[in-house]
A and B are shown apart, each in its own frame.
Chain A
């Protein structure tokens, strides 16, 4: 699937033909319209239910219509969630996400730059290694990762989750970033060189500014994947104070499964940061989510 990825930039290139609407509107698309609105209901109802239920007390929840908003909204569920160490799990998630995404994007950017600019045999094989890496499912390698992390004495530590997360972010990041760096006109590199810039200087002063949208996209994609990751924390941690949010959610749910409003408050609270980001950076997040898959 390698070559089909990362074709985003070309889409925005001006192509007069495609500017005109491609779906004819003369005939109405009844089927599509119906599907569109039905799907909206399917998506929104559970989300609406999460939001209203999280403000109900446990007793009102059982006594009232589950789709009606609470008459006397309460914050007690949120208080319970916050009292259950969620601020700590939140902090863990932030540390793991930032600690993995920043180095992952940095090393991927350097590698992409080298792959595009250099043409040594070494760099070519590095590139094909990363391309192959796209096909490796993370969970299939989890047992050796568990073994390696134990041998490195990193079991039950945040760093133990960070290192494999970086590794698994690299292949797709390199693919997307190198596609964007390749689009930079050769003349710009040439004039940098004539100005006496080093490759390192060219990376910082030319490649990075020109590919900033791609860097943001890759950062968002990786951040979401790692923030929402469940398997690595499940396998590589043991003590409650090392949990990240998805794992904490799971154990909270196990503990309070009868208290539906509290469970839903935990779901909402842990998803809130991303939802807030979505409100502000919708465009970036959407392109980040598809990471150039759109073709």
Chain B
């Protein structure tokens, strides 16, 4: 290691360099596996977007055909719009609630610890299980609303575009708010007590303290959590696939679902790969954008001025 610069280290240094080389093999198994099923597929998806393939037969190079087909298809702007809406709305719904619950859970009272244990149960369940549960729960004929005979709850929840969309946002939040409130809980617990004491001396009230200490101090936590939410929202495949299968109509057909349907249901692997490339690009752009907002370095700046 270059940091160990002890006087008697000329001999050691060369030995260490030698050993550094001999360490390389330990990384090889991981590298091979990741290259084979991560890097190559990533390059492959770009390559496949310039071919036509039905998933079974021969793969044929077809130039920009797939891209032309995809970009001319009104389905693409729609899928992009739906993806954006899911992202934006699930973020807007989850963030305030997660912060609120995170601040609440940060208190050290015993019952709050018990509550947090219960909150996290949804995180353990598979998206498929959650989607199936909600599908049954919301069924207009056999679901909870019908059984309780509450007219307000008896809606065709998954049959009306707007309602189905709302259900997707709600179920996503049901599944992931616990995770994000856990992140915020950690963030709140790192805010030094002294900052609150100073504010109290100045006579700040609870709400004032929240907005002038807690929230600004949570800046980097907000960025971390938002990055995970936003980038993660591109991957709500299982949940939406089982819950609505993109329907009713195309109301909840996000990019990932659009890719799946084109590729594995319509057997158009070329255009599906083009959608996948778009998905990767959207993810990268978002990650970079959020990084930029975060100001690049997010080491320990949370405690600036403490």
Contacts and interface: CB of A to CB of B under 8 A. Distances in A.
Contacts of A35: 97, 100-101, 104
Interface stretch (B32-40, B70-78, B85-93, B154-162): B32-40
A7 to B, nearest CB: 9
Interface in B105-123: 105-108, 112, 115, 117-123
Contacts of A115: 27
Given A120-B23, A133-B38, A249-B132, A49 B33 contact: no
A29 B44 contact: no
A228 B235 contact: no
Contacts of B206: 24, 27, 29
A18 B242 contact: no
B62 to A, nearest CB: 15
A40 B235 CA distance: 26
Given A39-B97, A250-B128, A29 B31 contact: no
A18 B27 CA distance: 38
Interface string A26-50: 0101011101100110111011011
A176 interface: no
Contacts of A59: none
Interface string B134-155: 1111010011100110000000
Contact of A295 (B122, B126, B302): B302
B191 A263 contact: no
Interface in B268-293: 269, 272-273, 276-277, 279-280, 283-284, 287, 290-291
B34 A49 contact: no
Given A1-B224, A163-B33, A139 B279 contact: yes
B147 A267 contact: no
Nearest to A173: B30
B136 A167 contact: no
A235 B264 contact: yes
A65 B189 CA distance: 43
Given A62-B147, A231-B238, 6 more contacts: A1-B287, A43-B121, A115-B27, A143-B45, A235-B264, A295-B187
Contacts of A275: 121, 124
13 contacts: A25-B107, A29-B107, A36-B112, A67-B147, A110-B29, A111-B27, A117-B20, A123-B27, A145-B41, A168-B38, A235-B264, A294-B182, A294-B185
What range describes how many residues of A lie at the interface? 35 or more
A285 B124 contact: yes
B21 interface: yes
Interface string B5-30: 00000000000000111111111011
Interface in A1-38: 1, 3-4, 11, 17-18, 20-25, 27, 29, 31-33, 35-36
A286 to B, nearest CB: 6
A153 to B, nearest CB: 14
A83 B260 CA distance: 31
B196 interface: yes
Residues of A contacting B: mostly: helix
Nearest to A115: B27
B144 A49 contact: yes
Contact of A286 (B133, B182, B193, B224): B182
B234 A137 contact: yes
Interface of B: 1-4, 19-27, 29-31, 33-34, 36-42, 44-45, 47-48, 53, 55, 59, 97, 100-101, 103-108, 112, 115, 117-129, 132-137, 139, 142-144, 147-148, 174, 177-179, 182-183, 185-194, 196, 200, 205-206, 209, 220-221, 223-224, 227-228, 231, 234-235, 237-238, 241-242, 256, 259-260, 263-264, 269, 272-273, 276-277, 279-280, 283-284, 287, 290-291, 297-299, 302
A107 B173 CA distance: 34
A79 interface: no
Interface of A: 1, 3-4, 11, 17-18, 20-25, 27, 29, 31-33, 35-36, 39-40, 42-44, 46-47, 49-50, 61-62, 64-67, 107-108, 110-111, 113-115, 117-120, 122-123, 126, 129-130, 133, 135-148, 163-164, 166-168, 170-171, 174, 186, 190, 199, 203, 224, 227-231, 235, 245-247, 249-250, 253, 257-258, 260, 263-264, 267, 270-271, 274-275, 278, 282, 285-286, 289-290, 293-295
B264 to A, nearest CB: 7
Task: Give the 10 A-B CB pairs with smallest separation, nearest first.
Answer: A294-B186, A144-B44, A66-B147, A167-B37, A32-B104, A228-B126, A118-B23, A141-B41, A144-B41, A111-B30
A263 B136 contact: yes
Nearest to A37: B115
Residues of B contacting A: mostly: helix
Contact of B256 (A139, A229, A249, A293): A139
Given A22-B192, A163-B37, A293 B228 contact: yes
A227 B34 CA distance: 20
B132 A263 contact: yes
A1 B38 contact: no
A126 B188 CA distance: 35
Contacts of B189: 11, 18, 22
B280 A140 contact: yes
A129 B163 CA distance: 42
B45 A126 contact: no
